[in-house]
Chains A and B, each alone.
Chain A
Amino acid sequence: MEHIRTTKVEQVKLLDRFSTSNKSLTGTLYLTATHLLFIDSHQKETWILHHHIALVEKLALTTSGCPLVIQCKNFRIVHFIVPRERDCHDIYNSLLQLSKQAKYEDLYAFSYNPKQNDSERLRGWQLIDLAEEYKRMGVPNSNWQLSDANREYKICETYPRELYVPRIASKPIIVGSSKFRSKGRFPVLSYYHEHKEAAICRCSQPLSGFSARCLEDEHLLQAISKANPVNRYMYVMDTRPKHRMQSWWATQKDIGRIIVRISSKIWNDEKIRESDEKKRLNAMANRAAGKGYENEDNYSNIRFQFVGIENIHVMRSSLQKLLEVNGTKGLSVSDFYSGLESSGWLRHIKAVMDAAIFLAKAITVESASVLVHCSDGWDRTSQVCSLGSLLLDSYYRTIKGFMVLIEKDWISFGHKFSERCGHLDGDPKEVSPVFTQFLECVWHLTEQFPQAFEFNEAFLLQIHEHIHSCQFGNFLGNCQKEREELKLKEKTYSLWPFLLDDQKKYLNPLYTSKSPKFTVLEPNTVSFNFKFWRNMYHQFDRTLHPRQSVFNIITNMNEQNKQLEKDIKDLESVRFRVLKIHSVGILSWMKF
């Protein structure tokens, strides 16, 4: 509370950023410990959580007052005009302090109290049980088993305690492999496809250097390929793209010579397709720097595949550009589309989607297991693994299943939510919309397959809201170890039970639940199908939205139908009862 100097300012104007007539609402602005609240003259409330604030700006003083612009992580942009500059300055300073917390303990989740008792809270946390989920997938089985190697987080701090590995992979192999992989993130099972007996595995990049080999790592990969009885060949997907070779050449002149020799050796290899050349050369570059990709010669039965998803920095600036473009009022067609193009956002979305489709195809068409990695194995790898599983398994397209998927591939395997979403005051270069991209890919799938998902757009938007809100404990911390240290399960609440309670709001009325478990989605990724997600990036700009919602009306109709069906049943049972009484009456009369 020490940061709050002014708690209430009257006669504040709220501008609508897309209104043509520069309409504004006048009202009162309140500053609380957790929220900024604006109540306009119609008593309509606008709540802004401090943790949602990405940027506060105080613009130059105008005749009507001091403009204060607040950009939020959920893409809400509010433009206030505060009549007195001193008030504006106070609020500005308070918000600067309140929106950037230094300690986890200061986040909203630790003070949020939804009036639940401890047993309810615990039950909430137990709602999603990953052990149950692995059982559903069909592991452990004769090829895969639970490893206790990481039970004390000794091998890999950022992995969970429970990890599934091939049955034939012994503990020394796992330990050896983990030493060879960046941050100790050795190959583990992410999803097991029971029907094809193939697996999606994930890891980080190998620290192979030039000639270094790691026999244990090679063994572990062999073990993964042997764990698939149908197809001994497996894919290793490197999700990173070709880099700008020129700049690399400039910085790495010394090694350049060697690279050329090695790459020419590889080019002679007839297995290599031309299109991969550049990508390979880039991976060679990475290898020269001490980190890189697996040397193909040392791993048999393995096919390497590169898919070009850009790194977190490219993604961050891409989103930045996108937001700059669509924030402009009275945009012309050419500005909008050239801006959309130059931001590259849709291209990046397509790249993620293409990677996931490759993964799903490898499993369904070739029954091959796939090992996915990027650099540290927690950004692009999480995107591709989770989206791939979503394409393969219809369970993940249900509300509960989608929660499980996020819990498994993002929360438990370690995604740096704290840095990527900027929960704490930290390095702005670590912020990146990796999870937002995942949600956007899912949205594109819901657009192409309107009947395949149990949940609707509002569900995705709500999850996006809460990865930044810090209101619930789920997305705090970067890995399970950290979460245990923070005692999140005792001190905070889980988001999922609250979403389930509100399930009605998130149901897709067009969903057909009859599809069998392994219905593969095969999205069409021609460029025309990638569209700007207005409801995400303009969620709060009401004027831009369709004025009538088809979803609502269908939902209402469904409900009416259900009610009518129930009425019919009730009436029939009444009729039946009446008949029975009659017949009983007749019977008793006959007896009489």
Chain B
Amino acid sequence: MEFSDLIRTGRAQAKLLRGPEAPPLRGTLCLTGHHLLLSPGPQATSELWLLLLRSVDSIEKRVASDSGTITLRCKDLRVLQLEIEGVEASLDIARSIEALSSLESVITSFPFFYRPKGLRLGDAWHFHPPERYYKRVARETNAWRLSEVNEDFSVCPSYPRAVIVPRSVDDGALARSARFRQGGRFPVLSYHHAPSGTVLVRSSQPLTGPQKRRCAEDEELLRAVLAGARPGARGFIVDTRSSQAAKQARMTGGGTEAKTAYPGWKRLHRPLERGQPLQESFVRLVEACGDPQQSTDSWLCRLEGCCWLAHVKEALSTACLAAQGMEREGACILVHGAEGTDSTLLVTSLAQLILDPLSRTMAGFQELVEREWIQAGHPFQLRCAHSAFSHARPKHEAPTFLLFLDCVWQLGRQFPLSLEFGEGLLLALFEHAYASPFGTFLCNSEKERCLCEVRTRTHSLWSGLNQPKEQRKLRNPLYAPNPLAIWPSVELQSLRLWQASLSVLLLLRPISALDPPT
């Protein structure tokens, strides 16, 4: 397939409308396989304006007598209006954008063509391999080992090649435990909390099913987790579903750990919203923000109706619960929901941020995102296929990662000196998770990334962000290392809407030109 087949008209005269404050930008509109460009003519080439087509979430076209207006709503919530000369041209361009922005193939996406100046391919890909984190764990305890049982992704397709497991459990047992867990996601180490000698472990739900099956190796694995921790440690299983939902899951082959089979472990249910309801909440939030004329009452009513802050509160308080269990009670924590790729990661990553001062540094946070989201198998491609504006019927979309970023922002607001990075990094991650010239957020798992050769053929977002020029914008100038755990207040009076992520809708953030490709 050639991009040129999809481009009906590549060029037109157009005007970019930039809201009431800024004058419209006139120029020649060009459509390429991956970009929409607006070049304002030979005099002012510096003001070249550019949009990655993949970030277009929905297109709206309106035609007048001799021109057409298309409104592009982007996945990072920007809204752009273009006035294009010629009805035919404008319709053609709109159709071409529609076709190009909905291409599903990974290997023809822009990251495979993006070759920025100053970066070498493969620079930062081995920045955060599992081995690196294991080295840190091994310095703190010798109860855990790095297992390569998943070397060829056959045991668990959504796990990375190497995972950290209790030393006393061999690879055969791991493989059998994997068969007992949904998607093969057997319990692996997420974080070792050295001060209390406890660990945070994550997995997917056990496949107990209606017959309440058991698995000796899985039980042994969890026993080994407790044995490797500080002596006398208890364990808590934080299930991110309600107990009702967990029971219901049994009918479809899932379920939850039986009390008798796992002595020393106590189960807690903390229901977190996921999947479609979360996506709908996001859509409603964005809708509510799109109307600046509404009265204070209707705004508060819609803010309440969308429940977004309720999800923020729940996510933070569950993470606090997990962190508290480790730090205050000296217990080991196992977190899982159903698949263990969404709300599970939300809880484990937030709990680490609360407890671990290292994860609050610029490098540490990148490592956390890489380890706990990307390598841990959060299906970015499915979850971020569409954002809040899309009219397509939602299938697997859910803004779980955005919810994570929002929670981090809330932490940063309550502890403004404790995070080395600022809001800029969170906004950049939000933008790049949905559409990016970098390959970091491509695909759903390490296995897919290997098949597509993402590592060797695309650039890493981290090397892009870690250039000195970018770093200046992303750092928190007030940062002072804080060796303590940061316990956020989850009372509603302390939470606030993350305005910057929605600010384009609130007409507060000016549209900035992206870097032109080279």
Q: Which residues of A pack against B, CB within 8 Å?
A: 18, 326, 331-334, 336-338, 340-341, 344, 346-347, 350, 526-528, 530-532, 534, 537-538, 543-550, 553-554
Contacts and interface: CB of A to CB of B under 8 A. Distances in A.
Interface string B279-297: 0000000000100111111
B493 to A, nearest CB: 5
Contacts of B296: 341, 346-347, 350, 527, 530
Contacts of A527: 292, 294-296, 298-300
B153 to A, nearest CB: 40
Contacts of B414: 546-548
Contact of B304 (A337, A346, A350): A337
Contacts of A336: 304, 492-493
A544 B418 contact: no
B478 A550 contact: yes
A543 B491 contact: yes
B418 A534 contact: no
B300 A545 contact: no
Contact of B494 (A340, A528, A544): A544
Interface in B411-430: 413-418
A6 B497 CA distance: 48
- 7 tightest CB-CB pairs across the interface, nearest first? A337-B304, A333-B310, A527-B299, A341-B300, A336-B492, A347-B296, A546-B414
Given A526-B292, A550-B478, A338 B304 contact: yes
A331 B490 CA distance: 10
26 contacts: A326-B493, A333-B307, A333-B310, A333-B313, A334-B304, A336-B304, A336-B493, A338-B301, A340-B300, A341-B300, A341-B304, A350-B296, A526-B292, A526-B293, A527-B294, A527-B299, A527-B300, A528-B292, A532-B493, A544-B489, A544-B493, A545-B489, A546-B416, A547-B414, A548-B417, A553-B417
A448 to B, nearest CB: 11
Contacts, number: 93
Contacts of B294: 527
Nearest to A332: B310
Nearest to B314: A333
B289 to A, nearest CB: 7
B248 interface: no
Given A337-B300, A337-B304, A528-B292, 16 more contacts: A337-B303, A341-B296, A341-B297, A346-B296, A346-B300, A347-B295, A528-B497, A528-B499, A530-B296, A531-B496, A532-B493, A543-B491, A544-B493, A546-B414, A548-B416, A553-B480
Contact of A550 (B300, B416, B492, B494): B416
Contacts of B416: 546, 548-550
A535 B56 CA distance: 40
A381 to B, nearest CB: 23
Contacts of B309: 333, 337
A534 B478 contact: no
Interface string B447-482: 000000000000000000000000000000010100
A547 B489 CA distance: 9
Interface in B57-86: none
Contact of B491 (A341, A530, A544, A554): A544
A333 B304 contact: yes
Contacts of A543: 489, 491
Nearest to A345: B296
B41 to A, nearest CB: 34
Contacts of B491: 18, 331, 543-544
B486 interface: yes
A401 B242 CA distance: 57
B418 A333 contact: no
A18 B499 CA distance: 26
Contacts of A331: 491-493
B445 to A, nearest CB: 33
A538 B493 contact: yes
Interface string B387-417: 0000000000000000000000000011111
A544 B495 CA distance: 9
Which among A338, A526, A530, A544 has the greatest number of chain B C-beta atoms within 10 A? A526
Nearest to B505: A528
A334 B301 contact: no
Interface of B: 289, 292-301, 303-304, 307, 309-310, 313, 413-418, 478, 480, 486-487, 489, 491-494, 496-497, 499, 506
Given A546-B416, A547-B414, A548-B416, A333 B299 contact: no
B303 A547 contact: no
Contacts of A553: 417, 478, 480
A306 to B, nearest CB: 17
Which among A537, A538, A544, A547 has the greatest number of chain B C-beta atoms within 10 A? A547
A341 B301 contact: yes
Contacts of A334: 304, 307, 310
Contacts of A347: 295-297
B218 to A, nearest CB: 33
A20 to B, nearest CB: 9
B493 A546 contact: no
Nearest to A344: B297
Contacts of B299: 527-528
B492 A333 contact: yes
Nearest to A330: B491
A547 B494 CA distance: 11
A339 B496 CA distance: 16
A418 to B, nearest CB: 31
A473 to B, nearest CB: 35
A282 B503 CA distance: 39
A420 to B, nearest CB: 24
Contacts of B486: 547
A545 B414 CA distance: 7
Nearest to B480: A553
Contacts of B489: 543-545
Contact of A548 (B303, B415, B487, B493): B415
Contact of A528 (B307, B415, B418, B506): B506
Contacts of A341: 296-297, 300-301, 304
A341 B497 CA distance: 16
B500 to A, nearest CB: 12
Nearest to B303: A337
Contact of A534 (B300, B304, B493): B493
B210 to A, nearest CB: 34
A567 B416 CA distance: 30
Which among A333, A537, A550, A554 has the greatest number of chain B C-beta atoms within 10 A? A333
Contacts of A340: 300
B413 A546 contact: yes
A534 B494 contact: yes
Contacts of A350: 296
B86 to A, nearest CB: 36
A150 B491 CA distance: 53
Nearest to A532: B493
Nearest to B293: A526
A334 B303 CA distance: 9
Contact of B289 (A338, A346, A528, A534): A528
A375 B342 CA distance: 59
Which among B418, B494, B506 has the greatest number of chain A C-beta atoms within 10 A? B494
Nearest to B418: A548
A44 to B, nearest CB: 20
Contacts of B478: 550, 553-554
Contacts of A332: 310, 492
Contacts of B487: 547
Nearest to B413: A546
Nearest to A557: B478
Contacts of A545: 489, 494
Contacts of B313: 333
A333 B495 CA distance: 10
A534 B418 CA distance: 21
Contacts of A18: 491
A537 to B, nearest CB: 8
Contacts of B497: 528
A365 to B, nearest CB: 16
